[in-house]
């Protein structure tokens, strides 16, 4: 039997002499890091050299080393609609109503370009995990997630792509035009398809680079039945759940008028109040609701620039953290931010 050839070990790089290293914990690495196969294998203390062998040195004088940042909320497709005059200086609902007239014309080439651009901007501002919430599926964009997967693969970064959805168009009392929504059967079937095709679970991949989450756009753009079915599908496939919630007082009023409940109560009725869920914005919660969110270990994507630009309100981040929520930063869509700069959000 012929023996297999010896596999050469990957080269080891010493990131040497940075101005500082932020490890996020009490560990010290004043003289840099040793990296192999995209993993840190040793922290080098001040005044010391690595104890492990290395193949090359990268001089990091004048630089700071920190963990890659994670963008928890974005709408990549909106990168194409920055600074549209008719959408400026409007609150959320009128802003959306105007831009849906533009977004209904999206196609695959547009989304590919938008995903590539938004991803590059996030990476240049310090992100190594980029997240997107795509929920617009006009006629020429039924395979939006497939297009995004291709673009992300070319960027070679870690990503969480959400299979978003909208099923309540204007003809059924919803906000979006009927031309950008899908039937609920189609949404659920395609959600399962993209999970099967692309999701890399932590159980089967030691270092997953691409994960899929399920993300109905908001309580005012899908039915309660779709919220329920999506939660069941996420549990079955062990994937995360994402949606907008409590972004504006208009949303609170809508939920109370249509569902007879505040947004968080409605979310709980739909089986979403658990640690599988993270919510975009999370501004208009009562103190009692913040306590419930913390007890359930729900995540919050805080989008400070977007919240200011749309005058949506101020997210009670410290209260949420103190209650037990996991709070991260998101740049939100470029149409309500006009850039994808994570350093700006920090």
Domains in the chain and their CATH numbers? 12-65 (no CATH), 69-345 (3.20.20.140)
pLDDT at 8: 65
Return the residue matching tokens 């270990």. Answer: 297
Specify the DSSP class assigned to residue 279. E
Q: Which two tokens stand for residue 198?
A: 């692309």
Q: Which two tokens stand for residue 135?
A: 């929920």
Contact 289, 31 (CB under 8 A): no
The string of pLDDT tens digits covering residues 102-111 is 999 999 999 9
pLDDT at 88: 85
DSSP result, 318-345? HHHHHHT-EEEE----GGGTSS--HHHH
Specify the DSSP class assigned to residue 147. H
Contact 180, 137 (CB under 8 A): yes
Which residues 6+ apart lie within 8 Å of 205 measured at CB?
none
Contact 152, 210 (CB under 8 A): yes
Burial class (CB in 10 A: 0-12, 13-18, 19+), 53: exposed
pLDDT at 335: 73
Closest CA to 222 of 255, 184, 188: 184
pLDDT at 203: 77
pLDDT at 1: 42
- Point out the residues of the chain with pLDDT beneath 50: 1-4
């Amino acid at each position: 039997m012929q023996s297999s050839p010896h596999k050469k070990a990957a080269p080891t790089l010493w990131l040497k002499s940075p101005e500082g290293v932020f490890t996020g914990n009490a560990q010290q690495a004043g003289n840099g890091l040793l990296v192999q196969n995209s993993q840190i294998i040793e922290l080098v203390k001040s005044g010391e050299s690595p104890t492990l062998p290395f193949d090359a040195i990268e001089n990091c004088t004048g630089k700071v080393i920190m963990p890659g940042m994670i963008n928890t909320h974005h709408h990549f497709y909106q990168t194409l609609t920055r600074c549209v005059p008719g959408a400026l200086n409007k609150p959320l609902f009128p802003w959306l109503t105007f831009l849906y007239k533009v977004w209904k014309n999206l196609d695959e080439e547009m989304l590919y370009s938008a995903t590539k651009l938004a991803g590059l901007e996030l990476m240049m501002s310090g992100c190594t995990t980029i997240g997107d919430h795509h929920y617009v599926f006009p006629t020429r964009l039924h395979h939006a997630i497939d297009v995004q997967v291709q673009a992300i693969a070319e960027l070679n970064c870690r990503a969480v792509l959400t299979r978003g959805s909208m099923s309540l168009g204007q003809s059924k009392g919803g906000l979006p035009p009927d031309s950008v929504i899908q039937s609920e059967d189609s949404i659920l079937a395609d959600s399962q398809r993209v999970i099967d095709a692309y999701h890399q679970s932590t159980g089967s991949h030691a270092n997953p680079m691409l994960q899929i989450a399920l993300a109905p756009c908001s309580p005012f753009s899908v039915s309660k039945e779709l919220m329920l079915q999506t939660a069941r599908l996420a549990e079955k496939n062990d994937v995360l759940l994402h949606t907008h919630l409590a972004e504006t007082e208009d949303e609170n009023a809508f939920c109370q008028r249509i569902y007879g409940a505040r947004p968080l109560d409605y979310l709980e009725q739909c089986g979403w109040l658990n640690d599988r869920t993270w919510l975009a914005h999370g501004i208009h919660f009562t103190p009692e609701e913040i306590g419930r969110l913390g007890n359930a270990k729900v995540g919050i994507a805080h989008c400070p620039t977007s919240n200011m630009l749309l005058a949506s309100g101020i997210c009670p981040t410290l209260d949420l953290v103190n209650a037990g929520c996991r709070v991260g930063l998101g740049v939100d869509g470029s149409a309500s931010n006009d850039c994808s700069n994570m350093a700006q959000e920090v």
